[in-house]
Amino acid sequence: MSESYPKKEKLKSKKLIERLFSEGQSVSAFPLRLVYLQTTFDDDVIAKTGVSVSKRNFKTAVDRNRIKRLLREVYRLNKTLYFNNITTQYAFMILYIGKDKPNITQVESRMKRLFEKFSGKISEQ
């Protein structure tokens, strides 16, 4: 699995997103929150992932774009650490629920913590 994040791995289907939020489970590591759902895709990928930032907390589109880009970048660089052992397919949505603008190191440390919690929870089941 390479360090790329092409279109195929993005969560785009409106239907799937609605299912994800109604049926999915979540773990959080402030200021991040991960909503996940075990499912199956037609494409040959392990996970489809989307990111989201609330308009309520960040008024301007520039701030929201910046945070979403950081989240995508950190996800891209770190996903191989956790997903090589997983066999089933998942849909993910990463939400940023904080109210201050973060930098790359903060996002990276919290993202790692988030996926450690996630894989811990998966292995329990």
Partner RNA sequence: UAAGUAGAUUGCCUUAUCGCUCUUGUGCUGAACUUGUUCAGCGCUGGGGAGGAAAGUCCGAACACCGUAGUGCAAUAUAGUGGUUAAUUACCACCAGCCGUAAGGCUAGGAAAAGUGCAACAGAAAGUAUGUACAGGUUAUGCUGUAGUGAAAUCAGGUAAACUCUAUGUGGUGCAAUGUCAUGUAUACCAGUGUUUGAGGGCUGCACGCUCGAUGCUGGAGGGUAGACAGCUAAAGUGUAUUGGUAACAAUGCACUCAGAUAAAUGAUAAGGUAUUUUUCUACUAGUUUUUGGAGUUCCAAAAACUAGUAGAAAAUGAACAGAAUUCGGCUUAUAGAUUUACUUGAAUA
Partner RNA sequence: UGAGAUAUAGCUUAAUUGGUAGAGCAUCAUCCUGAUACGAUGAUAGGUUUAGGUUCAAGUCCUAAUAUCUCAA
Nearer to RNA, 4 or 123 (CB): 4
Task: For residue 83, state whether it binds RNA (rule: CB under 7 A).
Answer: no
As a whole number of Å, the CA-based R_g of the chain is 14
In the set 37, 47, 70, 91, which binds RNA (CB under 7 A)?
A: 70
DSSP annotation string for 10-42: B---HHHHHHHHHH-EEEEETTEEEEEEEE--S
Task: For residue 15, state whether it binds RNA (rule: CB under 7 A).
Answer: yes
In the set 51, 91, 94, 111, which binds RNA (CB under 7 A)?
A: 51
In the set 33, 76, 112, 113, which binds RNA (CB under 7 A)?
A: 76
Q: Which stretch binds RNA (CB under 7 A): 22-30, 68-76, 83-91, 109-117?
A: 68-76
Site for RNA, rule CB under 7 A: 2-8, 10-15, 17-18, 50-52, 59-62, 65-66, 68-70, 72-73, 76-77, 93, 103-104
